[in-house]
Structure 1
């Protein structure tokens, strides 16, 4: 991987010189491990400690809507990457966008998920306090997750830009300082194999270390009818070569490594280092066609589909899930790695200085994904030109019929990208009986080159993609080579004033300066000319703030009223600038511990005003963003944990969202705007989300043996997957419009196990698990590119898992 040309080493050296601290989202030796498991093994729910305000606090006293999942929940529910968190917190929905490495995340009605290197995500993802700057690579397997915190609502003061919807904070496990080995292995259907081993080494002169390794693989869940064929894209992208279509779709093979070290340099100085590495090979999920769109280009594609019985093509058209489809999708290899060097310097008993230094990289090899589900279509350039001219006999001419390696794409996309980022944060924390203060400086720098191939109504002759002087200018096919260089610096402070034992006032302010730059080396447009080459720069400044009033009517109840803001960075797409989008949220909440700590009930309600929405637009073959939308979002959330009897814990959550566009302007072919506010809805935002879980540990028997069982139900309510109302050229609503929304469904998981099996000094547990136990057939994603295509989810999975500790 390349090195950033202006990597700010002076910041890292300054941090080392200062001897400052670990990130607020990590742990110091001797402190709480962060999240104490709320398990039903005692007479009360245990305390949960979170770091949502960049310092350790009891979940029930924090005036923020936050859901915390500990290591036991993560294991029992088989949460192995970010996507598995979907609906585990109220108003949280996560799915991949076909390719498994790029997530679409939605929190409280704000959706994030573009794969473009010039566009920032709207949900902040953090690993051990380090911001993950790109959506590509935000879903990756970590070898040793300790806990996950889901922060809902804008976090613009303490977390900064691109946390408009909220933040996902992943914290990896710290070393214990005592010798220990932990291992787990599981086998299941679909050729699933998963193994993990962790080694804690004894403390040596203040140094504690820990190593973890993870292997996770599963086969695809649909056969590829054109698997093994290749497409050579060298003419468009010389470095890509020939890409081979995978034999199965939806599979993955991952190896991940994690290393953690903590060192007590002095009584007041602690050094904390983390390293994570992930090497994954995944294949995009299978797509199948519902039908061509009713607009003019959709009708043109429908005509191509109509000739497939004559040309021998495979349309992938079906109204239920297929076990085999034709897909021009290759294996996607993605490598990610991260370094996190943090130091904590306790200046005195009430003041701590911290430094958080991070370096992350990702490398995505060239790959192709059949987003339009058109890899099995057989049609030639000559046939398509005859179709455009209405020459039906010309289409049927034997001389122009497709050969066995000929294909025709409605939408062809091939891509490779990489990214390197450096972050440095200096943070000061002060705690006293009168106030708590968190203040700091933050710097972020990234370089991200990307190489993309786009083909629209693209013929491929004999497995070779070439430039087409007739069709490329007509539809805007071509190659884009860009390099994004982005810097961001910020200063922030948040003060909580304890007016008395029952009332706090909190105020926070953050100033951020963003510098965005993009180099465009190749950009094809619909005129056939190369457009917009050169270097483009824009600068933005934003101020975000937080205000909270917190009232503690008793030791077991916290109530709060809150206003907070966030923003998503502006930038440059195709050399065209777009402004930041902003959100202001008003929230009230209540948190309570009842029935002598046997019942935990947390409630929240919110209203958000969303301005200057970055809306995707196309004009003259160029993709860009217009700040041409406004929306209001309101909703409510509830979370419950209950310990009815010893050994049994029941937990539930419910989220409700009402999202409404107040303005939505869309570009027309002549560059003007048309108001389609009444014809558009927000996508990937379920109206309701819910979770119901129960876990029971039976009384021990024999020599400490213990049976346990767990049942999890996750509910995703009605969800719009296609934003625009589908109309024909005359303006009539198409019958296909009824397919824009998926009905609500439950996804059920279960586990039955036996713990406490002793073997010398070691302990073994074994369990049977199942996910999607009811084999629910659902499709979490849908695209509309000339036809409506669906990505169905994997069906029921099940297997055996064994855990070992020494």
Structure 2
């Protein structure tokens, strides 16, 4: 730990040099050790199977930048959903948004996305079992039983379609094994962490097999609420009673995954899956860092303002959020022969979410002298979404060509009721009736949304001899998007009613791969993509488009003890979609904020110098230049270092192991306007002449290391069963830096990193 602390005091260039030097030193030491062990019969790096080109392939043969993890790795890193994936992947950062605990903020290769609007799509596509999730803004839920994760970086517009300009993230859940078995595991940790999971696999019967998993997960939040936690706001339907949260960052989740497989007909495989998550959670503590209007006086006379993380905050308007997410999917594969197969993926998914929050960071007193509690700005949100999707793929394979042709259809219906409440004055007592929830004109929405999309695509990979492969694909997409604004009263400068926009586009890609040695190749790739345009608050907007160039190297050598994957990329984006808030005026608007150029490098290395020892070193760098001058959310530097060591087996077959790892996130900015400035849709901030730039510097998210460790003992004999116990810790240095910053008027609020956490995992398998 002493060796990494000085990084905090280096410049950006110094940090890059130090990370690069660390990677070089680790690689040289590992290569030397591998040379010593070569020929001794030591194990090599295992193959990783991915489906990035719609068929199962070795990761090392696919000419695009991919990070993939199996079930064992996901469990080891405690990755349980989309919220957790930004731990090891270069140039990927996933943050918890302060406004909604179920809406992660994704940042990949300069593309940042986390919008809650149903009219806007995201530039990073999310998939579960091959099913596209229409709303990444509500993807902060856990999946009960994960089998594989694939993160595809860069535009995937041909095979994965629209809204993948930054990349695509795909989870595959576990399928039945066809053999009877029971797996039970649990976790106990600080902050009252309690997690239990049980999985049942049934034996195969007449071609049918099944797998069912149930998970319960709960914890208290790290920040206590020092306000009156009995205070309840009685909103009308659909929001209902909203009682102040006891702690911030708390979680209570129940999730189920059921899978049924049928293989009773030759050549046919049918997989049905159902997932359901019931999530009750509170946002992280939104601390008032700076600002506040003069009339905002805290109850008790003291404003809670400061740049250091506090263990308690007085906020009575934030209640637990509740989200229910569910999905049914059916995947069928029929193999006509070894050369041709037909695949169908059909699904229906949906969610409801109910939240309440305030944006003061404090409990205020009425500025008119009544002495009653007061909120200058509060908001409630009720959203309901349902989506249907169908995808048909025809796949072919021969010695010279692999190809796929497909059709895709997607339909989504959504309802949103999200008023913004300005100057809410509480009545005496602990229960406050809210007869009229407030104003929609100040940025809220009451809308019904219908989105439809159709696509047809084709892709082929042609092998030109033993060393050269050429790939190309094309996709036609057509979107029809309808917004129905249900607010009766007119909003200034924005008409009401029903509006529809229809847009179409053609995307394409081309790849050239050259295999220069066994298990080693280089490739060049060009790809296009787009984020859908449409209608936002009665105004039509254009798609956001991208053209991407990528050069890559994938290599395994020294008897497959060393793996090096390298990618260099440039992405040129146009018509960037940026939301802004104009008052007086139409409130929320979507504007074209110009163009962007993103350049970077990604390096992933794995080394097995001796039996049982695995060293990992990953690094990502992204340089984003935006024509409007708006700052990017993407860190310039990110890195991951890990040492995994499986010690020799003990006499009774038990297997001890340990892992130590560190995640590095470089300094990055939130789009905030410093205290004393005002907002504009073009540049984000104006009136900067009186801004304290030292304060603005303090209100950026600094670079940080997150250090973790795990000590495990597996294959403990318990009768006929095998057990496993692990001790683990996260953020071992208890880093206390910002995680998310945002501005409200002249105030800046923020959330902080999760403090040091630790616990014990235990499990048994029959």
Q: Shared fold (TM-score greater than 0.5)?
A: yes
Deviation, structure 1 residue 243:
1.4
Question: How many residue pairs are counted as aligned between the two chains?
Answer: 708
1:253 and 1:442 map into 2 onto residues whose CA distance is: 36
2:531 and 2:672 map into 1 onto residues whose CA distance is: 21
2:570 and 2:491 map into 1 onto residues whose CA distance is: 42
Is the counterpart of residue 408 in structure 1 residue 375 in structure 2?
A: yes
In the other structure, the counterpart of 1:341 is 330
1:246 to 1:415, Cα distance in 2 relative to 1, 3 A: same
2:612 and 2:570 map into 1 onto residues whose CA distance is: 39
Deviation, structure 1 residue 731:
2.3
2:357 and 2:488 map into 1 onto residues whose CA distance is: 20
Is the counterpart of residue 785 in structure 1 residue 752 in structure 2?
A: no
Equivalent residues of 2:287, 2:305 under 8 A apart: yes
1:628 to 1:571, Cα distance in 2 relative to 1, 3 A: same
In the other structure, the counterpart of 1:738 is 697
Is the counterpart of residue 582 in structure 1 residue 545 in structure 2?
A: yes
1:314 to 1:143, Cα distance in 2 relative to 1, 3 A: farther
1:723 and 1:91 map into 2 onto residues whose CA distance is: 22
1:39-63 deviations in Å (ceiling 9; x for gaps): xx95111111111111111111100
SS in 2 for 1:799: strand
Deviation, structure 1 residue 203:
0.8
Deviation, structure 1 residue 107:
0.8
Deviation, structure 1 residue 790:
0.9
Equivalent residues of 2:672, 2:741 under 8 A apart: no
1:242 to 1:210, Cα distance in 2 relative to 1, 3 A: closer
Which of 615, 634, 649 aligns to 1:700? It is: 649
In the other structure, the counterpart of 2:4 is none
The 5 A counterparts of 1:137-536 are: 137-230=138-231, 232=233, 234=235, 238-292=237-291, 301-305=292-296, 307-308=297-298, 312=300, 315-327=303-315, 328-365=317-354, 367-374=355-362, 376-380=363-367, 383=368, 400-403=369-372, 406-409=373-376, 411-462=377-428, 463-465=432-434, 476-477=441-442, 480-522=445-487, 532-536=495-499
Deviation, structure 1 residue 477:
3.6
1:611 and 1:457 map into 2 onto residues whose CA distance is: 39
1:402 and 1:532 map into 2 onto residues whose CA distance is: 40
Deviation, structure 1 residue 270:
1.2
1:77 to 1:316, Cα distance in 2 relative to 1, 3 A: same
Which of 561, 565, 573 aligns to 1:602? It is: 565
1:519 and 1:97 map into 2 onto residues whose CA distance is: 27
Equivalent residues of 1:525, 1:621 under 8 A apart: no
Deviation, structure 1 residue 129:
0.4
1:154-205 deviations in Å (ceiling 9; x for gaps): 1000000111110110001111111111111110110000111111111111
In the other structure, the counterpart of 1:80 is 80
In the other structure, the counterpart of 2:130 is 129
Larger mean CA deviation between 75-84 and 645-654 belongs to 75-84
SS in 1 for 2:125: strand
Deviation, structure 1 residue 726:
6.1
Equivalent residues of 1:478, 1:523 under 8 A apart: no
Deviation, structure 1 residue 118:
1.7
1:488 and 1:460 map into 2 onto residues whose CA distance is: 45
Deviation, structure 1 residue 315:
3.1
1:523 to 1:751, Cα distance in 2 relative to 1, 3 A: farther
The 5 A counterparts of 1:556-575 are: 556-575=519-538
Which of 575, 582, 589 aligns to 1:624? It is: 589
1:497 to 1:372, Cα distance in 2 relative to 1, 3 A: farther
Is the counterpart of residue 657 in structure 1 residue 648 in structure 2?
A: no
The 5 A counterparts of 1:84-99 are: 84-98=84-98, 99=100
In the other structure, the counterpart of 2:759 is 799
What TM-score, normalized to structure 1?
A: 0.85
Which of 771, 776, 796 aligns to 2:735? It is: 776
Equivalent residues of 2:477, 2:504 under 8 A apart: yes
1:272 and 1:468 map into 2 onto residues whose CA distance is: 45
Equivalent residues of 1:42, 1:646 under 8 A apart: yes
1:774 and 1:591 map into 2 onto residues whose CA distance is: 35
1:78 to 1:314, Cα distance in 2 relative to 1, 3 A: farther
The 5 A counterparts of 1:40-59 are: 43-59=43-59
Deviation, structure 1 residue 83:
1.9
Deviation, structure 1 residue 364:
1.0
In the other structure, the counterpart of 1:32 is none
2:488 and 2:543 map into 1 onto residues whose CA distance is: 24
2:231 and 2:690 map into 1 onto residues whose CA distance is: 41
Deviation, structure 1 residue 229:
4.2
2:261 and 2:668 map into 1 onto residues whose CA distance is: 45
Equivalent residues of 2:702, 2:738 under 8 A apart: no
SS in 1 for 2:696: helix
2:562 and 2:92 map into 1 onto residues whose CA distance is: 23
In the other structure, the counterpart of 1:670 is none
Equivalent residues of 2:343, 2:392 under 8 A apart: yes
1:424 and 1:515 map into 2 onto residues whose CA distance is: 16
1:547 and 1:459 map into 2 onto residues whose CA distance is: 60
Deviation, structure 1 residue 314:
5.6
1:356 and 1:219 map into 2 onto residues whose CA distance is: 39
Deviation, structure 1 residue 242:
3.4
In the other structure, the counterpart of 2:706 is 747
SS in 2 for 1:719: coil
What TM-score, normalized to structure 2?
A: 0.89
SS in 2 for 1:303: coil
SS in 2 for 1:157: coil
1:544 to 1:726, Cα distance in 2 relative to 1, 3 A: farther
Deviation, structure 1 residue 408:
2.4
2:307 and 2:489 map into 1 onto residues whose CA distance is: 36
1:320-356 deviations in Å (ceiling 9; x for gaps): 1111102221111111111110111111110011110
1:438 to 1:124, Cα distance in 2 relative to 1, 3 A: same
SS in 2 for 1:522: coil
1:241 to 1:760, Cα distance in 2 relative to 1, 3 A: closer
1:449 to 1:467, Cα distance in 2 relative to 1, 3 A: closer
1:557-614 deviations in Å (ceiling 9; x for gaps): 1110001111111122222221110011100000000111000000000011010001
After superposition, the CA RMSD in angstroms is 2.0
Deviation, structure 1 residue 262:
1.1
